[in-house]
Structure 1
Amino acid sequence: MLYTNGSDKGEKTMDRTELKRTIKFVLFSISAGVIEFGTFTLLDSVTEWSYWACYLPALILSVLWNFTLNREFTFRSANNIPVAMMKVAAYYAVFTPVTTILGNYLAETCGWNEYVVTILNMVLNFVTEYLYDRFVVFGKSIDTNSRAQADKQENE
Structure 2
Amino acid sequence: MISEKRKETLRVVKFVMFSISAGVIEILSFTLLNELTDWPYWPCYLIALILSVIWNFTLNRKFTFKSVANVPVAMAKILAFYCVFTPVTTILGNYLAESLHWNEYIVTGINMGLNISTEYLYDRFVVFRKTLDTNNLAQRQREKEDR
TM-score (norm 1): 0.92
**Correspondence for 1:42 among 29, 32, 45:** 32
Show the counterpart of 1:94. 84
Show the counterpart of 2:15. 25
Which AA in structure 1 matches 2:119? Answer: E
Which AA in structure 1 matches 2:11? Answer: R
Show the counterpart of 1:130. 120
Separation of aligned partners in 2, 1:53 and 1:15: 40
- Post-superposition offset of 1:154: 1.3
**Correspondence for 2:100 among 85, 110, 115:** 110
| 1:81 to 2:65 alignment | no
Separation of aligned partners in 1, 2:43 and 2:51: 13
Give the secondary-structure state (helix, strand or coil) at the position aligned to 2:38: coil
| 1:68 to 2:68 alignment | no
| 1:145 to 2:140 alignment | no
Separation of aligned partners in 2, 1:83 and 1:127: 22
RMSD: 0.9
Structure whose CA Rg is larger: 1
- Post-superposition offset of 1:153: 1.1
Instruction: In structure 1, list runs of 5 or more residues that go unmatched.
Output: 1-9
TM-score (norm 2): 0.97
| 1:105-146 superposed Cα distances (whole Å, 9 cap, x missing partner) | 110001111100000000000000000000000011000001
Runs of 4+ more than 4 Å apart: none
Instruction: In structure 2, list runs of 5 or more residues that go unmatched.
Output: none
The share of aligned pairs that are identical, in percent, is 64
Separation of aligned partners in 1, 2:58 and 2:76: 13
- In the comparison of the two structures, how many residue pairs are matched? 146
Give the secondary-structure state (helix, strand or coil) at the position aligned to 2:133: coil
More helix by share: 2
- Post-superposition offset of 1:72: 0.1
Greater relative contact order, per chain length (Cα 8 Å cut-off, separation 6+): 2
